[in-house]
Structure 1
Amino acid sequence: MTIVADPRFDRSERSATRGDDDPHPAAPRWRKRLAATLLVAGFAGYLIGGFWRFTEEVDRLSKPLPSADADAIVVLTGGAMRLDYGLDLLRSGRGRRLLISGVHPGTTAATLARLTKTDKAWFDCCVDIDYVAADTVGNAEMAGRWAERRGYRDLILVTSDYHMPRSLLEFDRIAGIRSITPVAVRRADLWSRDSLPTGSGLKLLMTEYGKFVATRIRGFLGMAPQDADAAPHVASLDRR
């Protein structure tokens, strides 16, 4: 006698068996994809929001500040008009001395005086030049050593507007400096009339924001910045 199994029964049995092992096989994968998508979207939103706040901070820092005196003035080279701003502050008595940090080794005080149309007597009496620092980390390190040697605790910091937030982060970690008054040089080509970035300004601000975020992450993780060239050359602060 031949027994023929009911095919409907077989399918039901197989379905029930699969159901016992994994009733919703696609559900875990779907949840993982959703979680990953939300994580990426949240991180992107954080970066976009952070960039917008960074842009607003750059714009705010470039606005005129109330008068404030300090022990000395530090100018970071690398942008137009920074040195002019610093020398104006020195001549107006806002600080007793000026450090120009990150100057090319082939540039003398006489050359800087000529380029800025400044009487060289100001450089002879009141200006020091740092030929060592090659980046913002080095600027902060050398300025800190200079301030410590001369007993300065309150500084005015001069640099370009887009560069100021990251510079303040680097200077904030230097022991012995009590206060930093930022004087940001506004880059007119970065901004439109309503304080929104221009096309070229947006590109530069995005690049600088990336460096700013990296600096904050480094500080959060407690990673010490590396500036191997600064330590052995403190004597490179001079008035050549």
Structure 2
Amino acid sequence: MVSQPDPLQRPPLRRVQGRSSKRRSRRPRPSPWGLVALLLAGGFLWLSRGWWWPAPPPAQMILVLGGDLAREREAAALAARRGLPVVVSGGSNPEYAHWLFEQRQGLPSHQVQLDYRARDTLSNFTSLVDDLRQARIRHALLVTSSDHMDRALLVGRIVAGSRGIHLTPVPVSCGDSCQPEGRRKVWGDGLRAALWVLSGRDLKDWAAARLPGQLGPAGGH
């Protein structure tokens, strides 16, 4: 008599190696350009509040960007006329600055602050902006050379504008030594400023690796 297989006993299942009937969908890798566009859109929405903020009070201080002694001389004369405090970012050596502001213009030492943390135009603002906000500064006169003003004002209005600080330009004539800056250099630093507002960091190295040629050479003062 032939035994019948027990219907309750199923043969062991075997795993068959092969392609699944459903292909796993691969997630597309995000494009760095899409990330940059998103950062820019959000950044400019945020930074624009410095432009539509309520009307600022009269100027409360003078911010002079180092890189040319003529800027410091103009700021010293302006401070003497207006009686405003001065912050010099990345300027001349302390000996010359003390002579110019205190001895030549007769300003008291407490009216002048020398700050040497800045390395370039962006850090002129990022190194100081939170200190200015804590001091309740809402309006500053920005002193720099006329050929540097476009880039400095763009960066400053992004960085300082993100903290609600208004900047009024005071260009200093550069005469025969003027070196007009290209649009790439101006907007390259503007992009760095927007990324700093969003991330709190200078992403120049990150951007240079992913956007070669888009950011001009790092601008000085």
Q: TM-score, normalised by structure 1?
A: 0.51
Match of 1:157 in 2: 142
Q: Of the candidates 86, 109, 126, which is equivalent to residue 98 of structure 1?
A: 86
Would you say 1:226 and 2:202 are equivalent positions?
yes
Q: Of the candidates 96, 100, 111, which is equivalent to residue 111 of structure 1?
A: 96
Match of 1:184 in 2: 171
SS at the partner of 1:74? strand
Q: Deviations over 1:30-81 (max 9, x none)?
A: xxxxxxxxxxxxxxxxxxxxxxxxxxxxxxxxxxxxxx94011100010231
Q: Of the candidates 137, 154, 168, which is equivalent to residue 169 of structure 1?
A: 154
Does the 8 A contact of 2:65 with 2:90 survive in 1?
A: yes
Counterpart CA distance in 2 for 1:71 and 1:115 is 21
Q: Deviations over 1:83-108 (max 9, x none)?
A: 1111111111263x11000136xx22
Q: TM-score, normalised by structure 2?
A: 0.55
Counterpart CA distance in 2 for 1:90 and 1:81 is 14
The offset of 1:143, in angstroms, is 3.0
Does the 8 A contact of 1:137 with 1:227 survive in 2?
A: no
Does the 8 A contact of 1:76 with 1:82 survive in 2?
A: yes
Q: After TM superposition, where is structure 1 displaced by more than 6 Å over at least 4 residues in a row?
A: none
Q: Name the amino acid aligned to 2:189.
A: T
Counterpart CA distance in 2 for 1:226 and 1:72 is 26
Q: Name the amino acid aligned to 1:112.
A: A
**Comparing both structures, which one devotes a greater share of its residues to helix?**
1
Percent identity at matched positions?
24
SS at the partner of 1:118? helix
1:1-240 to 2 correspondences below 5 Å: 69-93=58-82, 95=84, 97-103=85-91, 107-108=93-94, 110-115=95-100, 118-119=103-104, 122-174=107-159, 175-189=162-176, 201=178, 204-205=179-180, 207-218=181-192, 223-224=195-196, 226=202
